[in-house]
Amino acid sequence: MQIIDGKAVSASVRERIKNEIEILKNAGKETGLAVIIVGNDPASKVYVNNKKKGCAEVGINSYEYALPEETTTEELLELINKLNGDSRVDGILCQLPLPKHIDEKTVINSIAPKKDVDAFHPVNTGHIMIGDYSFLPCTPAGIIEMLKFYNIEISGKECVVIGRSNIVGKPMAMLLLHNSGTVTVCHSKTVNLAEVTRRADILVAAVGKANFVTADMVKDGAVVIDVGMNRNAEGKLCGDVDFEGVKDKCSFITPVPGGVGPMTITMLLNNTLTASKNNK
């Protein structure tokens, strides 16, 4: 069993991004990311700080807009509209979740598709569907990057994704399909889930339930990718996969923390670089 080290993969990708940003800089093109955070959600604050650190590390200028909890949808749309037209800003990221009174869908749809570095806009989602894309959602893109780094073949393999969210499950299935995997998507209504997951050569768990995937659900020699970020009963960070129970059955497995997590922000930086090149 080999552990897939997200930190190592992330470091190698960031090194490439940093070099490319440097080349753009020398050609007179600065790269900028605007990060909007509304309200005081502690988890969101941590994410935003990590994004700012990531930008600093690779040479991207980051502009933070911290808005109070009571900001209206209209006020937020006004800011996004301004950033859409700001030439210093190549990418715009609006940290989710937003406060309940703000219409999330309207906000996502108001970000110019060419600056939508989260790849949540319906235009970008459509491009991912047909395989003709500039940006990819950060977590699924990071997973593909990890599989490539470890020379794990996707083509012709049975791939099972547990979870059908718009942020991870659905785009993950699409990317595996674009890489010629045979893909099954499972969810809460799937009958005989363990029977389906046991067929998987590559199993991606994105359900958000601690230790949901147990050893009896995993095929011998499978590659197991754990997208979960949960807290167990002791308050310790853990994934969707029962790591201790499953690790001896697989050929490769991602740990939590230190697996998929580090890749997500790295792929955001990669999308910002792509936006910068496209906006040249």
Instruction: DSSP for 80-114, please give it.
Output: HHHHHT-TT-SEEEEPSSPPTTS-HHHHHHHS-GG
Confirm whether 170 is a catalytic residue. Answer: no
In 3-state terms, what secondary structure has residue 240?
Answer: coil
Q: Distance (Å, rounded) from C-alpha 180 to C-alpha 139?
A: 19
Confirm whether 118 is a catalytic residue. Answer: yes
**Angle (CA) 107 109 113, round 5°:** 125
- Residue positions counted in the chain: 280
Point out the catalytic residue in the list 116, 118, 201, 226.
118
Point out the catalytic residue in the list 95, 114, 115, 116.
95
Confirm whether 51 is a catalytic residue. Answer: yes
Helices (H) then strands (E): counts for the chain: 10, 11
Q: With contact defined as beta carbons under 8 Å apart, do 241 and 213 qualify?
A: yes
Catalytic sites, residue numbers: 51, 95, 118
